[in-house]
Amino acid sequence: MIGLIGKKIGMTQLFDEHGKVIPVTVIQAGPCRVVQRKSRETDGYDAVQLGFDETEEKRVKKPQRNHFKKHSSPPFRVVREFRLKVYKDIEEGEVFDVSMFQPNELLAIEGISKGKGFAGVMKRHGFHGFESSHGVHESYRGGGSIGQCATPSRVLKGKKMPGHMGVDTVTVKNLRVVQVDLEHNLVLVKGAVPGHRNSIVLLKKEL
């Protein structure tokens, strides 16, 4: 298996054998059940569909409810798909947990970043802003000129401007596993993970 679905619990700190502080993010990962097994012959690619956080049948919409019944699976609140590159011998109904991870292993963790609302160019893109002297009196945090009057007489696509910030899919690579708690299905990784507390994250092995 190449990964798990998890829920970000929050951040804390640990101490190593030398007394050095290690900031860690606590993630409740799995157990995840294989709801559907996709193959290159039937679907055009190899993948597994995992279910996380089992829930009541009445809390699942009818199309999803029939999908779970078709594959003889209990309903899950979260369903995500993982592409398979190496592991092929996985069947529907198998259950995976944090035992697949080992300390010092590197993971790529994907999540949805926190929403920041409408933000200006300094916060959103890191613009320097204007000087507070030498005649500047109208704009201090603006973005400056955004185009040309003659050629090409338009604002080019991709121009960095104010707008909605956050709520983007972010993947942080090379996060080291510090500790694995099999009893409580917890994985502690060094560093920060995108998303707010209780948000859904995907833990993927670095292959």
Residue 1 has pLDDT above 60, yes or no: no
CATH topology of domain 3-205: Elongation Factor Tu (Ef-tu); domain 3 (2.40.30)
Q: How big is the chain by its Cα radius of gyration, in Å?
A: 23
CA distances from 153 to 143, 148, 188 (A): 18, 6, 53
Strands, E assignment, 16-165:
21-29, 32-38, 47-54, 76-83, 95-96, 106-112, 117-119, 163-165
The per-residue pLDDT for range 127-152, each reduced to its tens digit, is 999 988 888 888 899 998 888 888 88
The per-residue pLDDT for range 155-195, each reduced to its tens digit, is 999 999 999 999 999 999 999 999 999 999 999 999 999 99
Task: Tell me the helices (H) and strands (E) count for the chain, helix number first.
Answer: 3, 12
- How many angstroms separate the CA atoms of 79 and 76, rounded? 7
Residue 3 neighbours by CB under 8 Å, 6+ apart: 82, 202, 203, 204, 205
The per-residue pLDDT for range 54-85, each reduced to its tens digit, is 999 999 999 999 999 999 999 999 999 998 87
Q: What is the pTM of this model?
A: 0.85
- Other Cβ atoms closer than 10 A to 205: 17
What is the per-residue pLDDT for 87? 64
Using alpha carbons, select from 26, 37, 59, 58 the residue that is nearest to residue 203: 26
**Cβ–Cβ < 8 Å for 93, 72:** yes
